[in-house]
Copies of this chain bind each other. A is one copy, B any other.
Amino acid sequence: MTKVSDGWLLSELASLVGGRVDGDANLRVYGVATLEDAGPGDLSFLTNPKYRPALASTRAGAILVGPGAGIDGRDLLVAHDPYMALAEILERMHPAPAPSPGISPDARVAPGATLGVDVALGPFAVVGNGARLGDRVVLGAGTVIGDGSEIGADTILAPRVVTYPGTIVGDRCVIHAGVVLGGDGFGFATSAGKHRKVPQLGRVVIEDDVEIGANSTVDRGTLGETRIGRGTKIDNLVMVAHGVVIGPYGLLAAQAGIAGSTRIGSHVTMAGQSGAAGHLRLGDRVVVAAKTAVFNDVPDRAFVAGVPAVDHRAWKRSLALVKMLPELRSRLSSLEERLAQLESGRKGNA
């Protein structure tokens, strides 16, 4: 592939993403920018139809689109899945800088810890006794790895992450700043109005290829595991409680929360600020709309919304009916009047 300073031919990018050029295949772009910000040297992209009006005024040199975009007079890079193509192109144009391995003299590694090759430890990172870091693991400044925790190869922990003792993190994970893995679950037995802590003896297991956003928290199981399935992506400020099991390839958007012992299938999406109560089962490929509260089990492939969550079509119908209430009420009043007239007429007849 051409050097950055030379830019990229549209044809090169097309072959990278398995797409085709509709226009000048020899056009050269030097970067990627939004329709609004792009200049003549940039590739821009239309991956969300909401931004179609911006096409009219964009100064972009070329535009990455899906098939059948119906755009004339533009040099287009047409890809089957333009958002995926965008990911691939950005990755190629901006390869993640390899962190320079090396252990800061200000990091503290317990004598009983094991470090893989080419690890990078920032200043004031702490690695506990019996902890194991895989090859090329990166610990940001001030990150604390609890005793006996295991971090898989090529996993990156940003600054100020905490893993409590015994936490397991897989390979190629990205854990953002402020995340806390393995804190005690919220388990208390109440007697005579006082709460006694139920010891939280389980652990957290994060499988491979998981990403967890800033300041999210995953609590350890009471006895068993709290487990995040491989390839699941979690946004910021999300709460995963003790004993929750999330299947592979899920998406949990910001500020979602899952209460204790709930089991979530594969490919489940929970949108922003949604929640699920404890001890539930959500099937595979479930979608939970934003702000929804799930209080009951959800079957595979359901799309639920509302508080409490119901099928999203039922939720929409309810909303529509509530909107119609003024009309229903006035129809009711008119019926009452008409009926009263009839009744009085009947008395008159009698």
Contact = CB atoms under 8 A, between A and B. Distances in A.
A267 to B, nearest CB: 5
A332 to B, nearest CB: 6
Given A37-B223, A237-B217, A329-B328, A279 B196 contact: no
Contact of A233 (B158, B176, B183, B186): B186
A69 interface: no
Contact of A177 (B183, B211, B277, B291): B183
Given A123-B108, A162-B160, A275-B272, A195 B233 contact: yes
Nearest to A160: B162
A167 to B, nearest CB: 11
A77 interface: no
A241 B147 CA distance: 33
Contact of A189 (B84, B108, B254): B84
Interface stretch (A6-14, A22-30, A60-68, A137-145): A137-145
A160 B140 CA distance: 13
Contacts of A224: 33-34, 36-37
Interface residues of A, number: 111
A183 B158 CA distance: 9
A273 interface: yes
Nearest to A88: B196
A54 to B, nearest CB: 12
B249 A275 contact: no
Given A183-B236, A236-B239, A259-B290, 20 more contacts: A48-B279, A83-B198, A87-B197, A88-B196, A144-B160, A178-B217, A183-B213, A195-B249, A214-B217, A217-B236, A236-B241, A257-B273, A272-B275, A318-B325, A321-B329, A322-B325, A324-B329, A331-B336, A332-B335, A349-B349
Given A177-B164, A249-B194, A326 B317 contact: yes
A59 to B, nearest CB: 15
